[in-house]
Chains A and B, each alone.
Chain A
Amino acid sequence: MNQDQSPWRYAVNIGLIGALIAVMLALIGMVEAFNKRDIIYKVVTMGNVLLLLSAVFLSYLAAQKAGRERKPLVFGTAVLTSVMTAAGIALLVVIGKSINLRMMFINASPSLYQILTFYYGPKLGIPLLLFSGALSGLFAGLLYLAPAVVRKMLITAFSTVIIAGMLQDMLRPVISLWGPLARINLFLFAANGLALKGAVGLFVLVALLVYLWQSKGGTVKTRVEGLPAGQQRTLKLASMLVMALILLVLPKILGLFLSEVLTIVGLYVLLGLGLNIVVGFAGLLDLGYVAFFAVGSYVVAILTSPELGFFSMGFWSALPIVVAAGILSGVLLGVPVLKMRGDYLAIATLGFGEIIRILVLSDWLRPWIGGAQGIGQIPNISVAGYTFTTPQQVYYIILAGCLLVGFISWRLRDSRLGRAWMAVREDEDVAQAMGINLVATKLMAFATGAGFSALSGAIFATKIGSVYPHSFNVIVSINIICLIIVGGMGSIPGVIVGSFALVGLPELLREFAEFRLLVYGAALVAMMLLKPEGLWPDVKRSRELHIEEEENEAEAAEAAPASG
C-alpha cells in the first residue's frame, strides 16, 4: 500500500479483498447462520447486514484514498469497490450453481445461494446483488463526504438499530419487566427482529440525540469542568453511587439467562484483571495462564469435594489455601522463565500450560485428581447459612471478587511495584540499570496474576459444581489474551470492555458461538494492525505506542518554520 498508488488501482485492490472476504463469509457458513435472525422483520437479516457492512466499510476505505476534494472520484472508487465485492458473491453463486462445491465446502448449500440471491434465483438475484453493491458504494461515498456531525449521527443511529435488532431476545424481556414500558415492545419489535416502524423510530431518535449531544454536549462538559473541586467530587461520588446501585440490582432486572451471561463475563473479568498484571503491566506475555486457573479449580475441588474423599472443607476455609497454591504455582512457573523475554517466554509458558493439562488428563495422576472424568460434587459457596446457587446469587460472589481484584490492581498500578512493572515492560535492561530488582519484580507479577487466576478458578469450580480437564484448554488463555488486547493492554476498564465485547456478545448471540475464535483471531490481527493500544487504552501505554508519531510530528513542526 504505497502512498503514490492511484486511487483506482487502490480501489481495485480493496475490491478484490472485499470479494474474497464476502465469498469467505458465505462459504464458512456465517451468512447462512446469521440469516436466521432478522434485524428488521422481513426486511433485513443479520446475514445481509454482515455483507452490507463489509462492503460499506471497504468502499469507505477506498473513498478515503480519493480525498474529499475530488467528489466524482470518491463515488467512482467507492462504487467500484462495493460492486466488486458484490461481484465476488455473484461469481460464487454462478460457480456454485454449475459445480457442486459441497464436496469440499460443507456450507455451500442450496439455501446459501438462495440467501445470496435474495430468494429470487440467479437471473433476477445477481443484477439485484450488483445493484445493492452499487447502492452501498454510493452510501459509503456519501458517508465520507458528509460533514462530521452527520456522519456521526448516521453511524451511531445505524449501529444502534443493528445492535437493537441483534439483541432483541434480551431487550424484549428486560423491557417488558417494567410494566408501563411494555408498550415500547409492541412498537419496537415484530415477531422476529425490529418492526419497520420501530426501526425507523429508533433511528430518528438516536440521530436526534446524537445531534443534540454534538451541539450541546460540549457545553455540558465545560460546565462540569468549571464546577469547583468540591462539587466535582460530589458529582463523581453520586455517579459512583448510582453505578454501585445499578450493579447491585442488575440480576433482578436481567433475569436468569442474562445473569448467567453476566457471571461468565465476570469470571473473565477476574481472569483478565489477573493476566492484565502479567501481560499489561509487566509486559510478560504468558500463554499458559489457564494453568493457574486450573490449579485454583483443582485445589478447591480436592479440598471441598467429598467425591475423592481426601478432605471436605468449606469453601471459605479452602480459599486461603487455594490462593496460596495459586501464588506458589505462579512463583514455581515464574522462576524458570525469569531470563526469557518476549516470544521465548510466550512459548515456554504455553509449554507449561500444556504440560499441566496433559498431566491432569493422564491416567497416571487419576487417583488424585480424577483424570478425564474430573471431580464432581463441589459444594456451593455459602455465607452464614445462605447458599449461592442460582446465577443471580453467584453473580454477587463474582461481583465481590471483581471489585476486590479491580481495587487491588488499581492500587498496584500506581504503587512503587506497579511503576517497576511498567519500567520492566518498556525496557528490561534500563529498568535493571535503574536499580529495579528484576527477579523480585517479575516474580511478583507472576505470583499476583496467578493468585487472581486461582481465585477465579475456585469460584468457577463452585459455580459449575465440578471440574474437567477440558475446561482448561489453551484456548482459554488465548481468549483472555484477546480480551486484554482488544480492551487495551494495561488498562483496567479495558479488561471490562474487552470481556463484554469478546465474551458477553458471543454468549448472547448463539449463532455467533461457532465463529467465535475466527472472529477473535481476526480481531487480534486487526487490532494489532490498526489500533494496538486497544479500545479503552491506558493513557501511558497509548503514548508509548505512539511515541514515534509524536516525535515525527514534533520534528515536522520544528522543520516547517525552518523551511518556510
Chain B
Amino acid sequence: MLQRIRERISPTDVVMWMIGGGLLFLVIWGSIATLIKGTYTARHWIDFVIFGLAQGSVYALIATGYTMVYGVLRMINFAHGEVFMSGPYTAYFVAAYFYRNDFLEAQPILCLGVIFLVSMAVSVTIAFFLERIAYRPLRGAPRLIPLITAIGASFFLQYLFRGLYGSSFQAYPDIAMLEGHWVIAGIRILKFQAVVIVAAVVLMFALYSFVMKSRIGKAIRSVSEDKEASALMGIDVDKMISMTFVVGGAAAGAAGVLYAIMFKQVHFFMGFIPGIKAFTAAVLGGIGNIPGAMLGGIFLGLVESVGPSLFLDGLGIVAPYQLKDAIAFTMLVMVLIFRPTGILGERLAVKKA
C-alpha cells in the first residue's frame, strides 16, 4: 500500500505541494496579521471589494473571448488583448470629438451608446480579420505554430496602433453623469464603478443567452464539441469559427470602454496585461467554459484588489500595491500547475483523456 503511494507521488510533486502549501500558509498568515493589526476599517474593505468587482467584471468580459476561441480552436488567442485595446483606443477619438463639441455634456447616454458601438465595431473587425488572415491558414498545423502566430499578431497590432495613434497616453474625457457616488443600503459606491458592474453583468447575461439560446450560439457550441460532426450536421464550421471571433471581439470591445471609463486613459499597450489577466481568469474558471470564465474574472479582480492589503501588508511588505500584478501572475502559474482544468473545467479534462 505504502509502496504504491510512493510510486504515484514523484519528488517533483512533493516539491510543488510544498511550494503551494508554503504560499497558502503565507497568505493565511499575512491575512491574519493584517486583520489583527486593524490598519483598514470596514469602509476600506468595502471599497476594495467594489473596485475588485468592477475590475473583475471587465476581466470576465475579456475572458469570455479567450474561452470561446479556446473552445472552438484549442488555441490561446494571444492577440485578444490587442482586440480589447483596439476598440476603446479608436473610440477615444469619437469621445474626444463629442467632448469638444459639448455633446458629451448634453447627451451623455447617447454619446456613451455611440462610443460603445464604435468600440465594439472596431474590435469585431480586428478580431474577424485576425482570424481570417493569421489563424485560418494554419488550421491543423502543429500546436506551437498558431501560438507563435498569435504572439506575432499581438505585437503587430500593438505597434500598428502605436504607429496610427501615437505612443502617448490619451485621457478619456470625464463624463459628468458618472462623477460622484451613490449610497445604496448604507454603502457608498462610486457611480462609475456601479455603472461598470451593472453594464458588465448585463453584457455577460446577453452574451450567455446568445451562446445558449440563439441558433448561432448553438452552432458555435456544437463546433466546439466536435468539428466533424457539426460539419456533417450542416453547420458551416469556418463561418462559426469566424462568428466566435466576432462575438469575442464584441465582448472585448465593450469591456474596453468599461475599462476606459474606470481608468480614464487609453494607450497602445493597455491590452497586454489585462489580456494575460483575462487569460488567467479563463484558466481559473476552466478554459472553454463561459460561466467559468466570468466567475474566474470576478474572482481574479477581487483577489487583485483585496489581496495586496489583505495578505501582503500583513507580511510586512513595503508598498504592497506594486505587487498586485505579481499576485495575478502567481495565481496564473499556481492554477496551471495544480488545477489546469480550472474550477469548472471538468468537461474538457474528461475529453482530453
Contacts and interface: CB of A to CB of B under 8 A. Distances in A.
Contact of B319 (A106, A364, A545): A364
Nearest to A443: B12
Given A106-B165, A336-B16, A362-B323, A518 B143 contact: no
Nearest to B317: A364
Contacts of B322: 358, 361-364
A415 B326 CA distance: 39
B148 interface: yes
B336 interface: yes
A478 interface: yes
B141 A522 contact: no
Most A CB within 10 A of own CB, among B138, B280, B333, B337: B333
Nearest to A529: B137
A524 B148 contact: yes
Interface in A363-385: 363-364, 366
Contacts of A103: 93, 97
B325 A358 contact: yes
B76 A347 contact: yes
Interface string B38-72: 00000000000000000000000000000000000
Interface string A331-372: 000011111111110111011101100110111101000000
B151 interface: yes
Contacts of B144: 283, 285, 342
A40 B166 CA distance: 30
A287 B76 CA distance: 14
Given A335-B15, A342-B144, A485-B148, A525 B333 contact: no
A336 B319 contact: no
B75 to A, nearest CB: 7
B126 to A, nearest CB: 13
Contacts of B166: 106
Given A335-B12, A338-B12, A364-B318, A524 B151 contact: yes
Interface stretch (B24-32, B155-163, B208-216): B155-163
Contact of A515 (B151, B159, B319): B159
A492 B133 CA distance: 30
Interface string B1-22: 0000000001010011001000
Contact of A521 (B159, B279, B330): B159
B37 to A, nearest CB: 18
Interface residues of B, number: 56
Contacts of A524: 148-149, 151-153, 155-156
Interface in A62-103: 103
B340 interface: yes
Contacts of B323: 358-359, 362, 364
A354 B332 CA distance: 11
Given A340-B336, A347-B332, A359-B326, A28 B164 contact: yes
Given A346-B147, A347-B276, A347-B279, A522 B152 contact: yes
A350 B328 CA distance: 12
Contacts of A285: 144, 147-148
B336 A521 contact: no
Contacts of A341: 143
B164 A105 contact: yes
Contacts of A24: 160, 164
Nearest to A353: B329
A28 B155 contact: no
Contacts of B206: none
Given A335-B12, A336-B337, A525 B156 contact: yes
B155 A481 contact: no
A137 interface: no
Nearest to B133: A525
Interface in B63-111: 75-76, 93, 97
A129 interface: no
B289 interface: no
A53 B138 CA distance: 26
B145 interface: yes
Contact of B333 (A106, A342, A351): A351
A452 B57 CA distance: 42
B134 interface: yes
B93 A343 contact: no
Given A344-B340, A364-B323, A517-B159, A104 B93 contact: yes
List the 3 closest pairs (A to B, CB-CB), nearest first: A524-B152, A28-B163, A521-B156
Interface of B: 10, 12, 15-16, 19, 75-76, 93, 97, 133-134, 137-138, 141-149, 151-160, 162-166, 276, 279-280, 283, 317-320, 322-323, 325-326, 329-330, 332-333, 336-337, 340
24 contacts: A24-B160, A29-B163, A103-B97, A104-B165, A105-B165, A106-B164, A106-B166, A107-B163, A335-B15, A336-B337, A346-B76, A347-B76, A347-B276, A347-B283, A354-B326, A355-B333, A517-B158, A521-B154, A523-B152, A524-B156, A528-B145, A528-B152, A529-B134, A532-B141
Given A30-B163, A528-B149, A528-B152, 14 more contacts: A27-B163, A27-B164, A336-B19, A342-B143, A346-B76, A348-B333, A351-B333, A358-B326, A364-B323, A521-B155, A525-B156, A528-B145, A528-B148, A529-B149
